[in-house]
Amino acid sequence: AQKVTQAQTEISVVEKEDVTLDCVYETRDTTYYLFWYKQPPSGELVFLIRRNSFDEQNEISGRYSWNFQKSTSSFNFTITASQVVDSAVYFCALSGYTNAGKSTFGDGTTLTVKP
């Protein structure tokens, strides 16, 4: 069975603050992929990143960075110098080897960035 937990239901920050969104996962698979998606108020789902279970290097893309720690089964997402346009619901997802095609999503974290 796969499970993704995003313990933070809602986060509110002021523009330019840094914010970290937590994601903890459970899987019996030794081979799996982790994903982050953004769902802005308009409702569509935007793919942000994919990371495989063998690659624990942190990744940075502009103001976004991801910290994958296999030892704690976490894949956290940090936004540096947040902007109002970052306001959205962010979902972490897991796809394990034995559940091909069947991604498991967390319940999402609603991020509000105030001007």
Partner 1 sequence: NAGVMQNPRHLVRRRGQEARLRCSPMKGHSHVYWYRQLPEEGLKFMVYLQKENIIDESGMPKERFSAEFPKEGPSILRIQQVVRGDSAAYFCASSPSGGYQETQYFGPGTRLLVL
Cβ neighbours of residue 84 closer than 8 Å, sequence gap 6 or more: 15, 113, 114, 115
Q: How far is the CB of 18 from partner 1 (least distance, A)?
A: 24
Instruction: Tell me whether residue 63 or residue 102 sits nearer to partner 1 (CB atom).
Output: 102
Instruction: Tell me whether residue 33 or residue 64 sits nearer to partner 1 (CB atom).
Output: 33
Strand residue runs (E) in 1-115: 3-5, 10-14, 19-21, 24-26, 32-39, 46-52, 59-61, 64-69, 74-79, 88-96, 104-105, 109-114
Q: How far is the CB of 16 from partner 1 (least distance, A)?
A: 28
91: exposed, middle or buried (Cβ count in 10 Å: 0-12, 13-18, 19+): buried
Q: How far is the CB of 65 from partner 1 (least distance, A)?
A: 19
| Cα–Cα distance, 70 to 66 (Å, whole number) | 13
Instruction: Tell me whether residue 1 or residue 85 sits nearer to partner 1 (CB atom).
Output: 1
Q: How far is the CB of 41 from partner 1 (least distance, A)?
A: 13
Instruction: Tell me whether residue 35 or residue 66 sits nearer to partner 1 (CB atom).
Output: 35
Residues of this chain that bind partner 1 (CB under 8 A): 4, 6, 29, 31-33, 35, 37, 43-45, 47, 50, 52, 91, 93, 95-108
